[in-house]
């Protein structure tokens, strides 16, 4: 038996990846292009990508919404899980990140499946609500953690009974255990977890996940 520490946590993640997540040239090129363009290396892990992919399939989702695109790594995982005719809309504040993502998605053969919308996610989401956009089946929040509560309020207006809402980075290396976290993203993640737990419209559970750091994804289902 191994002692549970940073090293063994990473070994376990690597073991799972080696077994269940074979290397993929398109996904590797996606990360390389993001690195070369100087984007921060904050994509979901390969195992988390596979997790998102499986959940999109299990949910039978045809319409997916992502908040926070970066270079389109998580986007690629989710878009690949869609059936013929499925669509994914992803929202990104940074024009530079959106440009890298657009190139990556084209290289992945997903240009016709994914639409990247540039701008502050709160503004884009409000515009979608105002336009009477049809409800999404699956929603992934992964932009600024300080905005998660605001994004939840908006994406609830783009949901139906059974919509699955996921949010990344809600453990933040344990910072959410602190009574009064200091960093804006830690405060945002902690508040989001508390808001979800109290929201009678949802059933939720946070899942700890780890690689080089301990983080996690919280999963909610609209009643
Ligand atoms: N989902 C990506 C990682 C996203 S990183 C993946 O796993 O591959 C977070 C992204 O959110 C960054 O690209 C950042 O520019 C974007 N972002 C930050 N604030 C935002 C906002 N207010 N609206 C939209 N996107 C935002
Ligand atoms: C950070 C990590 C993320 O996965 C993300 O989506 C945004 C920010 C971070 O570590 O700052
Ligand atoms: Mg993230």
Measured CA to CA, the distance from residue 136 to residue 120 in angstroms comes to 19
Is residue 184 in contact with ligand 2, taking CB distance under 6 Å?
no
List the residue whose alpha carbon is closest to atom 8 of ligand 2. 42
Predicted confidence at residue 40, as pLDDT, reads 98
Is residue 45 in contact with ligand 1, taking CB distance under 6 Å?
no
pLDDT tens per residue across span 5-46: 888 989 999 999 999 999 999 999 999 999 999 999 999 999
Predicted confidence at residue 171, as pLDDT, reads 97
Predicted confidence at residue 143, as pLDDT, reads 98
Whether the per-residue pLDDT at 89 is higher than 80: the answer is yes
Q: Which atom of ligand 2 is nearest to the CA of 70?
A: 6
Mutation test residue for ligand 1: of 56, 70, 123, 128, the one with most atoms within 8 Å of CB? 70
Predicted confidence at residue 180, as pLDDT, reads 97
* Interior angle at CA 71, CA 6 and CA 125, nearest 5: 105
- Cα-to-centroid distance, 10 and ligand 2 (Å): 18
Is residue 147 in contact with ligand 1, taking CB distance under 6 Å?
yes
**Banded model confidence at residue 133, pLDDT cuts 50, 70, 90:** very high
pLDDT average, residue stretch 57-68 = 99
Let me know if 212 is exposed, middle or buried by CB neighbors in 10 A (0-12, 13-18, 19+): exposed
**Banded model confidence at residue 2, pLDDT cuts 50, 70, 90:** confident
Sorted by where each begins, the domain ranges of the chain are 6-222
**Banded model confidence at residue 71, pLDDT cuts 50, 70, 90:** very high
Task: Check if the beta carbon of residue 196 is closer than 8 Å to that of residue 220.
Answer: yes
Whether the per-residue pLDDT at 218 is higher than 90: the answer is yes
% of the chain at pLDDT higher than 90? 94
Whether the per-residue pLDDT at 1 is higher than 90: the answer is no
Is residue 42 in contact with ligand 2, taking CB distance under 6 Å?
yes
List the residue whose alpha carbon is closest to atom 13 of ligand 1. 70
Is residue 186 in contact with ligand 1, taking CB distance under 6 Å?
no
pLDDT average, residue stretch 123-145 = 98
Q: Which residues contact 164 (CB under 8 A, 6 or more apart)?
A: 55, 59, 61, 137, 138, 139, 219, 220, 221, 222
List the residue whose alpha carbon is closest to atom 10 of ligand 2. 42
**Banded model confidence at residue 75, pLDDT cuts 50, 70, 90:** very high
pLDDT tens per residue across span 144-197: 999 999 999 999 999 999 999 999 999 999 999 999 999 999 999 999 999 999
CATH 3.30.499.10 fits 6-222, yes or no: no
% of the chain at pLDDT higher than 70? 100
């Amino acid at each position: 038996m191994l002692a549970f520490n940073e090293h063994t946590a990473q070994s376990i993640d690597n073991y799972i990846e080696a077994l269940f997540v074979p290397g993929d040239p398109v996904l590797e090129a996606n990360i390389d292009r993001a690195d070369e363009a100087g984007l921060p290396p904050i994509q979901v892990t390969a195992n988390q990508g596979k997790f998102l992919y499986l959940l999109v399939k299990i949910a039978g989702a045809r319409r997916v919404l992502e908040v926070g695109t970066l270079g389109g790594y998580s986007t690629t995982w989710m878009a690949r899980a869609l059936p013929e005719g499925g669509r994914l809309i992803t929202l990104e504040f940074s024009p530079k990140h959106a440009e890298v993502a657009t190139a990556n998605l084209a290289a992945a053969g997903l240009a016709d499946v994914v639409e990247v919308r540039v701008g502050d996610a709160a503004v884009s989401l409000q515009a979608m609500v105002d336009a009477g956009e049809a409800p999404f089946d699956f929603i992934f929040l992964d932009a600024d953690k300080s905005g998660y509560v605001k994004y939840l309020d908006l994406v609830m207006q783009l949901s139906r009974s059974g919509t699955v809402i996921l949010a990344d980075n809600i453990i933040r290396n344990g910072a959410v255990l602190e009574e009064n976290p200091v960093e804006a993203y830690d405060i945002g993640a902690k508040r989001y977890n508390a808001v979800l737990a109290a929201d009678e419209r949802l059933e939720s559970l946070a899942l700890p996940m780890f690689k080089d750091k301990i983080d996690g994804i919280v999963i909610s289902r609209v009643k």
